[in-house]
């Protein structure tokens, strides 16, 4: 079993790290565009009685 698997990491974690390293290793002209994919944002709005209960978390 590989070391990362033993440490409790999944292949998804592995894949994320690998993709991140690859994006950092690109030529400058492609890098800035690629680095935008590093972050992902999720916005959650809880709803109650048909209207948003809070703005977002």
Partner 1 sequence: MALAFRNMLRTAARRMQVRGYADAPKGDEMALTFAAGNKVFFNKQVVKQIDVPSFSGSFGILPKHVPTLAVLRPGVVTVVENDGKQTKIFVSSGTITVNDDSSVQVLAEEAHPLESLDRSAAQEALSKAQSELNSAANERAKAEALIAVEVAEEVLKAASA
- Residue that is written with structure tokens 């290793």 in the block: 25
C-alpha to C-alpha distance for 37 and 39, rounded to whole angstroms:
6
Evaluated on CA atoms 9, 13, 15, 17, the torsion sign reads negative
Shortest gap between Cβ of 44 and partner 1 (angstroms)?
23
Which of 11, 35, 52, 54 touches partner 1 by CB under 8 A? 11
Residue 35 near partner 1 by CB under 8 A: no
Q: Please state, in angstroms and rounded to a whole number, the distance separating the CA atoms of residues 38 and 22.
A: 11
Specify the residue, 8 or 50, whose C-beta has the smaller distance to partner 1. Answer: 8
Q: Where do contacts with partner 1 occur on this chain (CB under 8 A)?
A: 3-4, 6-9, 11, 13-28, 30-31, 34, 37
């Amino acid at each position: 079993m590989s070391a990362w698997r033993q440490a409790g990491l999944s292949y998804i974690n592995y894949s994320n790290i690998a993709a991140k390293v690859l994006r950092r290793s690109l030529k400058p002209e492609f890098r800035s565009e690629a680095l935008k994919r590093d972050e992902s944002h999720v916005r959650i709005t809880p709803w109650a009685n048909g209207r948003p209960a809070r703005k977002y978390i």
